[in-house]
Structure 1
């Protein structure tokens, strides 16, 4: 069996009018673009590397780092004042895909990346073949209080003395149902990835802009514009973007199905990796 470390990644730094986007890819076949979430230290490879052996057997998997994360450029304060991070990301990603010669593609996004995926599917329905959303930001209407427990941990991470392994462990505990499956090595790796000074500076700007805008873009208003067949994947025990908020997507997206994982939090691709890979593969390969 191929392991994540044995998957051969091809890496690019793709110029766009906004700045460079770092992209890793592997595999051949229909293109599957996978967008990571917005936690501290996140990137395309770090969030999905464990899923690559299964998915690259069927797809050309494209893993961009979203603006502000990983190896991609950092939006400035004026950038974030002019447009939301979702609008910036959708613009930059589409330019990067154009530069890579990718016209039509399957699209998968989690959390912050789910918001960008929603925006792309709404604004460019001719480009998105099928859509997979894992607890996406912006398409969700919470029933309970906000910010949620997970959102509070994200905002808190770089505040009050800055990042630490203890704070990263607390962050991970809110992202998953059973944190015992993620040991000290996982905490340390994610903590070390969060220490880039330019990423920290961006995160402060991002949190301030998020607060000024009152949260994510209200992408739920345009869910009816999505024409791609859509699979929703959700952890029943998600404490960041809670399951109850999925109801509006089930009502407004015309071709949609939902799979709920019990005893699972915000990171379906990690907590239920094999089921995630099977569901995504079967859904994308099925005839439309």
Structure 2
């Protein structure tokens, strides 16, 4: 079992919970935004492989896991991505981390894009898994997965049945994930402060009309970038990747067939091999 060190890092916004493991070049991994998400919960199964090569740093983004919960006033003033980027750079500064590799999925992918745009000198290499914000779909929005995510805490609140429906939408083959996974993710979603935050976040998301339009400044990303995408992703759909391929200067794309939104789980061994290979390139 991977041994984790846990920190609570003070920032001017609030405390950020950070777990870390391994030694070597720093790899910051940002989780997605689904109910019950956190750094450790989203990437625990990948740590044995990655910690052999990297000092893996797993922050809980504002609103999630053990980190502070942004208020209505916070979310009215700035988007969740802007809040997250500010808090994470402060947390990394407090931990003495200057340069680092960066990986982000979905909501965490939006934060990763924004971090690489704002401070390109700090991000050595970048991995984006179906990231928000840099993506312009040709189909209707909100997508099926986004609707399921918004529905989870509404209409009577969370339940194991709704969590099972959420997971079915996130992945290609839900039979990979049994009742134990559903139960664990459901139980992680029940924190009252997180539920309250989610309602605030969804309201602010709707008021802003979605994610920040990070696609406008994709050319500002200087780090060599690996895009990982499930062909069958129903949350951040593959068709939206074309703009990223055209605008990011040094970019490559790997598409997984029979795979949805959770590449790190659905294609674990290939995900780990591709990430290690990309981050190890000179």
User: Could you say which TM-score interval applies, normalised by the shorter chain?
Assistant: over 0.9
Partner residue of 1:25 out of 20, 34, 52: 20
CA drift of 1:129 comes to 0.3
| Counterpart in the other structure of 1:247 | 242
Say which SS state the counterpart of residue 121 (structure 2) adopts: coil
| Counterpart in the other structure of 1:270 | 265
CA drift of 1:286 comes to 1.0
CA drift of 1:169 comes to 0.3
Say which SS state the counterpart of residue 126 (structure 1) adopts: helix
Matching of residue 217 in structure 1 with residue 209 in structure 2: no
| Counterpart in the other structure of 1:89 | 84
Partner residue of 1:204 out of 190, 193, 199: 199
Matching of residue 145 in structure 1 with residue 140 in structure 2: yes
CA distance in 2, matches of 1:65, 1:215: 21
Gaps of 5+ in 1: 1-5
CA distance in 2, matches of 1:149, 1:214: 17
Partner residue of 2:47 out of 46, 52, 66: 52
CA distance in 2, matches of 1:219, 1:275: 28
CA distance in 1, matches of 2:118, 2:19: 24
CA distance in 2, matches of 1:131, 1:246: 15
Partner residue of 2:233 out of 229, 233, 238: 238
Say which SS state the counterpart of residue 102 (structure 1) adopts: coil
Matching of residue 280 in structure 1 with residue 272 in structure 2: no
Partner residue of 1:164 out of 156, 159, 181: 159
CA distance in 2, matches of 1:188, 1:7: 22
CA distance in 2, matches of 1:126, 1:228: 8
Say which SS state the counterpart of residue 47 (structure 1) adopts: helix
1:51-70 map, 5 Å: 51-70=46-65
Partner residue of 1:77 out of 72, 76, 81: 72
CA distance in 2, matches of 1:171, 1:30: 35
Say which SS state the counterpart of residue 86 (structure 1) adopts: helix
CA drift of 1:253 comes to 0.2
| Counterpart in the other structure of 1:195 | 190
CA distance in 1, matches of 2:137, 2:163: 25
CA distance in 1, matches of 2:138, 2:54: 36
| Structure 1 residue ranges, 4+ long, deviating more than 3 angstroms after superposition | none
| Counterpart in the other structure of 1:226 | 221
CA drift of 1:245 comes to 0.3
Say which SS state the counterpart of residue 120 (structure 2) adopts: coil
CA distance in 2, matches of 1:149, 1:89: 25
CA distance in 1, matches of 2:171, 2:149: 14
CA drift of 1:46 comes to 0.2
1:124-139 map, 5 Å: 124-139=119-134
CA drift of 1:174 comes to 0.4
Measured against aligned partners, the alpha-carbon deviations of 1:203-254 in whole angstroms (never above 9, x if no partner) come to: 0000000000000000000000000000000000000000010000000000
How many residue pairs get aligned? The number is 282
Partner residue of 2:111 out of 111, 116, 119: 116
**TM-score normalized by the length of structure 1:** 0.98
Partner residue of 1:11 out of 6, 15, 30: 6
